[in-house]
Amino acid sequence: MPQKTTEIDALLTPAEVAVMFRVDAKTVNRWAQRGLIPHVWTLGGHRRYPEKAVRELLARDITRREA
Amino acid sequence: MPQKTTEIDALLTPAEVAVMFRVDAKTVNRWAQRGLIPHVWTLGGHRRYPEKAVRELLARDITRREA
DNA sequence: AAGCAATCGGGTAATTAGGGCG
DNA sequence: TCTGTCCTAATTACCCGATTGC
């Protein structure tokens, strides 16, 4: 078990998320702006995406198709 | 061991799959709707197809014609 | 401090989904 | 039954200059 009780979710860059969904990084940002993906901000105003949440969104659509 | 335990399958766009099968993108769309091809959804409702699965379907159709 | 890749924004073309038709 | 084409609306991709990350 490489993790402690306090789970810290790794953060992904827009480019990394874009590769996972096979879309452009700009598209990922549009999803974030619409509130479709949780994200945090760097102090300089760049977005970072929790890996866990991204994977869930990616796997969700495979099985079902609910918004 | 050429493979890692966590392999991330690349995704193909509808147009790319259409070219591979030499059909129209809409036909690929219909195959997906019938559940004949596994696929993932972008958050905007566009489909993305796992490259591995597509290649397997292509190879299968070349050799035989079952079901 | 300096260099380079990445990520902001916006704006405009290109794809895609879906329905219906032949 | 299966596929290709036409249509509209929505989503996505590529363009730029400027800022940020490392």
> What's the pTM value of the predicted model, to 2 decimals?
0.84
What was the pLDDT predicted at B63? 54
pLDDT truncated to tens, each residue of chain B (67 aa)?
Answer: 444 455 668 999 999 999 999 999 999 999 999 999 999 999 999 999 999 999 999 988 555 555 4
Query: For B17 and C20, how far is CA from C1' in angstroms?
Result: 24
What was the pLDDT predicted at A2? 54
pLDDT digits (tens, 9 = 90+) for A20-36: 999 999 999 999 999 99
Q: Which residues of B39-53 are buried (b: 16+ CB within 10 A; e: fewer)?
A: bbbbbeeebbbbbee
Average pLDDT over residues A5-12: 79
Chain B residues contacting A, CB < 8 Å? 8, 10-13, 38-44, 48
d(CA A52, CA A10): 8
Q: Is B30 within 7 A of strand D by CB distance? A: yes
